[in-house]
Amino acid sequence: MLKDVTIGQYYPTGSVIHKLDPRTKILFTTAFVVMLFFLNNLWGYLATFVILATITLLSKIPVGYIIRGIKGLVLIIMLTVVLNLFMTPGTVVATLGPLTVTLEGLKVATYMALRLIFLVVGTSIMTLTTSPIDLTDGMEWCMRYIPFVRRYAHELAMMMSIALRFIPTLMEETERIMKAQKARGANFETGNIISRAKNLIPILIPLFISAFRRADELATAMEARCYRGGENRTRMKQLAFEFRDGASLVLMFVMIVGLYLTTWIQIPLLFPV
């Protein structure tokens, strides 16, 4: 199950997209996600599809890998579709017992499904093509321009990178604790949801205790290495905007404007405008 989640994973291929500055990618993804919610006809979604398909091809990430990322969200997408399909009032096109499908419902359901899929694909392309370190560095830079968040930009980025560093360590630890508890006769495989959840307690408690101990030791080790927050701190790797970033930014701007222009198209595609 956990293997299916591609959001937040890094898939190095060394493509042009991978080489872009993380800030360029963060900026584009943000603009893209906002734009997704402005789209009001299928022309826009068609254009979005073309843009995403081109970026995916350029990134050299296997299409199957990206589709797998959507699979984890099937349930949420289905739920959204079903709710919108039956709950939107309007012109009835079909009835299924007490349930009615309206034309408006069909339209909203399609848009919502496409929106969610493109949202997931768009953001996972960003994380798949950007190493966690670059991503946190890029985010730290972006956060410096957001009021209120600005003061904590360094701390937030540091927290994120420590979390990333400790995910594999804590996963290993969980596995070790599970084995230890199994050896003592614990049962994690059978029983209903409630008893299974209860069975997790002997895993969670040792895991929490050890996580706090680790945090304490890590904090001491960081202080011993002269860590004192973001003030006067330098970085070995500097983010550098290059020509390709400038070119991509121009392209990005054109694409976003293009997407916005589709909302003006009056020719119906599948659904009446």
Q: CB within 8 A of 17, min separation 6: which ones?
A: 25, 55, 58, 59, 125, 129
- The candidate with the shortest Cα–Cα distance to 239, out of 151, 120, 131, is 131
164 interacts with other proteins by CB under 8 A: yes
**Contact predicate 17/125, CB 8 Å:** yes
- Binds other proteins (CB under 8 A): choice among 53, 217, 263, 264: 217
What SS3 state is found at 186?
A: coil
73 interacts with other proteins by CB under 8 A: no
Tell me the closest approach of the beta carbon of residue 22 to other proteins, in angstroms.
14
Query: Smaller CB distance to other proteins: residue 198 or 233?
Result: 233
**Contact predicate 263/38, CB 8 Å:** yes
- Binds other proteins (CB under 8 A): choice among 226, 243, 266, 267: 226
Query: Smaller CB distance to other proteins: residue 10 or 49?
Result: 10
- Binds other proteins (CB under 8 A): choice among 148, 238, 243, 267: 238
Please provide the size of the chain in residues: 273
Q: CB within 8 A of 108, min separation 6: which ones?
A: 84, 88
Tell me the closest approach of the beta carbon of residue 238 to other proteins, in angstroms.
6
Residues 126-145 that bind other proteins (CB under 8 A): 132-133
By CB under 8 A, name the binding residues for other proteins: 132-133, 161-162, 164-165, 168-169, 172, 213-214, 217-218, 220-228, 232-238
